[in-house]
Amino acid sequence: MSQPQLVPAIRRAAEADLPAIVHLFSIPDEGNAKTDHPGPPLDPRYREALAAIAEDPNNALLVAEVEGRVAGAFHMTIIQYVANRGARVAQIENVIVDPSLRGRGIGEAMMRWAIDEARRRGCFRVQLTSNKARLRAHRFYERLGFVASHEGMKLKL
């Protein structure tokens, strides 16, 4: 029997949300090695990063809140291009939903919010990367209309 769908409120993350967000980022997921540690104490670099994100109008760490609890999070950055006649692209990263709440519409609500915000901000494309090991996540993104059109590469520093 499926669980009822939840309707989260999507909003910018606040400093008080950081322990819950970092906890979500620390949960192992489909072969993704995690290096975040929720503490306590919470590493001050998380607060510094959130402050820097909050100062940038083209950057946002967002949370999905359900019944006063952080149920998911994602990072969205608006990239200004010179190519494509100065078009904008929305980049989505670090998408996470509390494993105990998956399959209840939270991830879809976050992505639909991001897509709507990208349109509102004049973006011509929404793009994201996902670890190759996250096959369930890939099926989720494809169901929302995303296409695996490019091969991504990373260089660890």
Where do the structural domains in the chain lie, given as residue ranges?
A: 9-143
Tens of pLDDT, residues 87-142: 999 999 999 999 999 999 999 999 999 999 999 999 999 999 988 888 999 999 99
d(CA 50, CA 17): 10
Q: Is residue 84 left, alpha or beta, with left meaning phi > 0 and alpha meaning psi from -120 to 50? A: left
- Where are the strands (E) in the chain, listed by range? 9-12, 59-66, 69-80, 88-97, 123-128
Residue 101's pLDDT is 95
d(CA 129, CA 30): 15
Got the DSSP string for 134-155?
Answer: -HHHHHHHHHTT----S-----
pTM over 0.75: yes
- Which superfamily does 9-143 belong to? Gcn5-related N-acetyltransferase (GNAT) (3.40.630.30)
